[in-house]
């Protein structure tokens, strides 16, 4: 969930993405940006929050990890950010509740964390911009310094952490974060986050962390603690009240999001699901039960009151199912015998106190059946039941967490080609670089140009493989899609040559850095007024 400069800006879109990434979606659609060239050694199958692997094929994230394509959701997002319009934000996990809240004016939140392991650079700016944009759309914005993670997972001293944390905060403010309307904090100073992490830790175990993060017997306990602290960060915006919450991240952080969504569900007092009889059924079995119920006119002696045994016979004769679902569900139906097959909504007791379970029984109107570990209701639909379960949970001391959402942006290519790495200064532009140095880095950057000017004019440049074009698409064009399109079309059409293109980009980078650093200086004089302590007490206690 946190951004740090060891891996955040790796680059590796696939060839198909390069062919189509910067094209128009339709004749009047915004420009789509690409993620640059594939880095050697890219690993398309592993997502490692602390590693340095790149993503060779973004499409595999949809297939292997269930990340959804942002394009499909874009029409539902009010006033979408240019990173969304250009496809830099390419995927999401359950972002629709956030988009719905924007449209309806309901509460929502956005949060991201920054691991202070080095200077903030243009890769981090993507996340800064996403948090700021959500704040401008009316969301509660949270930005945190992941100092506990930096200390445990990266081994930084508290002096180093404080220096880097200050630089991150200054750049965030200079780019437009409103501290009066948002929340800034550092993990080590937020007792609510630490207390929530303790509670979440009771729902996770070492085997799970080992499977997700490849932890082993050599992994520090503090490193494992930093994981549950990040889970607490992700859910922190919902401590006062449940609300749709989005975490903007690179795809390498998706393991954190999957675990956070699982833990949010495990913390709930009640689960809400569909059921058809007194026995429990998994998702595959429920699909078959629904089919049997819908076909009751074909087999039931009394179609208004189909029996479980009748449904079992019909399923065996008429349906096939993957795995053991058909065998298991028909066995359950046989055992239920003459019990009626009847749709209902089931409240499952997950972590409810006795008082909460009794309160839910009292709150359910209409026909209901009460069992030791669940309650069946016949007069509520699923959405109504979810709302009621959350309401009772909150009234009886629970959290009522909504599953957190996430959006994923492409990694940027290094200016020298391949990975953008903090260990290779020429590959990235730090937000602290002297403007003249930023100018020189762009002028020295690799391009997607042809061997000669004549060949460029004849065949056009390879904008989709050009780190300099990425600067235009991700940063230099700002909200001006027309300008980004012009640069792209002039390049691929052979009108724009690399020398002039780099000169223009270098001048724009220089101007951006000058403006950004002036704003940083203005904020530096106001840091003491912020509700965040950038001088850790831990170093004075000998924690280093």
Find out whether 314 and 292 touch, Cβ atoms under 8 Å.
yes
Q: Which helix (H) or strand (E) holds 249?
A: strand 245-249
Within a 10 A sphere around the Cβ of 362, how many other Cβ atoms? Answer: 8
Which of 125, 109, 20, 26 has the alpha carbon at shortest distance from 75? 26
Extract the runs of DSSP E, i.e. beta strands, from 460-506: none
Strands 182-186 and 68-69: unpaired
φ, ψ at 13 (rounded to 5°) = -75, 160
Beta bridge partners of 24: 31
CB under 8 Å to 396, separation ≥6 — which residues? 269, 352, 353, 355, 356, 359
DSSP state of 94: S
Q: Which helix (H) or strand (E) holds 161?
A: helix 158-174
Torsion of CA 81, 171, 246, 91, to 10 degrees: 50
Which of 326, 328, 350, 351 has the alpha carbon at shortest distance from 279? 328
Residue 507 and residue 147: Cα distance in Å, rounded? 35
Beta bridge partners of 271: 348
Residue 122 and residue 81: Cα distance in Å, rounded? 17
- pTM of the full predicted structure? 0.85
Find out whether 385 and 368 touch, Cβ atoms under 8 Å.
no
The tens place of each residue's pLDDT in the chain, 544 residues long, gives: 766 544 333 333 333 332 333 332 332 333 433 332 233 333 443 434 334 344 556 666 666 778 899 999 999 999 999 999 999 999 999 999 999 999 999 999 999 999 888 889 998 999 999 999 999 999 999 999 999 988 888 888 899 899 999 999 999 999 999 999 999 999 999 999 999 999 999 999 898 988 888 888 888 888 888 899 999 999 999 999 999 999 999 888 888 999 999 999 999 999 999 999 999 999 999 999 999 999 999 999 999 999 999 999 999 999 877 779 999 999 999 999 999 999 999 999 999 999 999 999 999 999 999 999 999 999 999 999 999 999 999 999 999 999 999 999 988 888 988 777 766 788 889 999 999 999 999 999 989 888 888 998 999 888 888 999 999 999 999 999 999 999 999 999 999 999 999 999 999 999 999 999 999 999 999 998 998 888 877 765 445 5
DSSP state of 411: P
């Amino acid at each position: 969930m946190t951004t740090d400069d060891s891996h955040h800006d790796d680059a590796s879109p696939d060839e198909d993405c390069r062919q189509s990434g910067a094209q128009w979606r339709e004749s009047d659609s915004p420009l789509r940006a690409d993620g640059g060239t594939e880095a050697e050694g890219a690993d398309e199958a592993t997502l490692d929050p602390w590693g340095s692997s790149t993503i060779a094929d973004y499409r595999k994230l949809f297939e292997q990890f269930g990340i959804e394509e942002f394009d499909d959701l874009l029409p539902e997002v009010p006033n979408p950010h240019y990173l969304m319009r250009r496809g830099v934000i390419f995927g999401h996990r359950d972002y629709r509740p956030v988009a719905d809240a924007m449209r309806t004016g309901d509460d929502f939140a956005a949060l991201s964390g920054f691991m202070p392991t080095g200077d903030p650079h243009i890769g981090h700016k993507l996340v800064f911009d996403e948090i700021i944009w959500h704040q401008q759309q009316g969301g509660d914005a949270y930005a945190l310094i992941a100092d506990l993670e930096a200390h445990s997972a990266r081994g930084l001293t508290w002096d180093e952490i404080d220096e880097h944390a200050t630089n991150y905060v200054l750049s965030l403010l200079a780019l437009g974060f409103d501290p009066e309307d948002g929340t800034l904090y550092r993990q080590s100073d937020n007792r609510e986050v630490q207390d929530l992490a303790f509670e979440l830790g009771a729902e996770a175990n070492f085997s799970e962390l080992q499977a997700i993060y490849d932890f082993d017997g050599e992994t520090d306990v503090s490193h494992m603690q930093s994981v549950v602290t990040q889970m607490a960060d992700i859910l922190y915006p919902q401590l006062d009240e449940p609300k749709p919450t989005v975490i903007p991240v690179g795809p390498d952080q998706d393991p954190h999001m999957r675990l956070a969504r699982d833990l949010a569900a495990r913390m709930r007092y009640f689960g809400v699901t569909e059921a058809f009889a007194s026995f429990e059924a998994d998702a595959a079995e429920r699909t078959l039960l629904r089919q049997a119920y819908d076909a009751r006119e074909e087999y039931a002696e009394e179609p208004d009151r189909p029996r479980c045994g009748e449904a079992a016979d019909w399923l065996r004769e008429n349906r096939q199912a993957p795995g053991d679902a058909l065998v298991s569900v028909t066995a359950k139906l046989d055992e239920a015998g003459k019990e009626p097959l009847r749709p209902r909504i089931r409240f499952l007791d997950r972590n409810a106190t006795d008082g909460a379970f009794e309160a839910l029984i009292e709150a359910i109107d209409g026909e209901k059946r009460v069992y030791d570990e669940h309650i069946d209701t016949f007069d509520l639909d699923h959405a109504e039941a979810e709302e009621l379960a959350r309401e009772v949970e909150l009234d009886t001391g629970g959290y009522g967490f909504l599953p957190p959402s996430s959006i994923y942006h492409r990694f940027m290519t290094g200016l020298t080609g391949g990975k953008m790495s903090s260990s290779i200064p020429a590959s990235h532009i730090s937000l602290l670089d002297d403007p003249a140095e930023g100018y020189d880095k762009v002028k020295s950057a690799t391009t997607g140009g042809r061997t000669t000017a004549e060949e460029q004019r004849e065949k056009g440049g390879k904008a989709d493989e050009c780190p300099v074009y990425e600067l235009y698409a991700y940063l230099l064009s700002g909200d001006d899609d027309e300008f980004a399109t012009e640069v792209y079309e002039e390049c691929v059409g052979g009108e724009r040559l690399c020398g002039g293109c780099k000169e223009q980009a270098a001048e724009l980078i220089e101007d951006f850095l000058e403006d950004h650093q002036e704003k940083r200086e203005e904020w530096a004089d106001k840091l003491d007024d912020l509700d965040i302590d950038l001088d850790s007490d831990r170093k004075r206690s000998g924690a280093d």
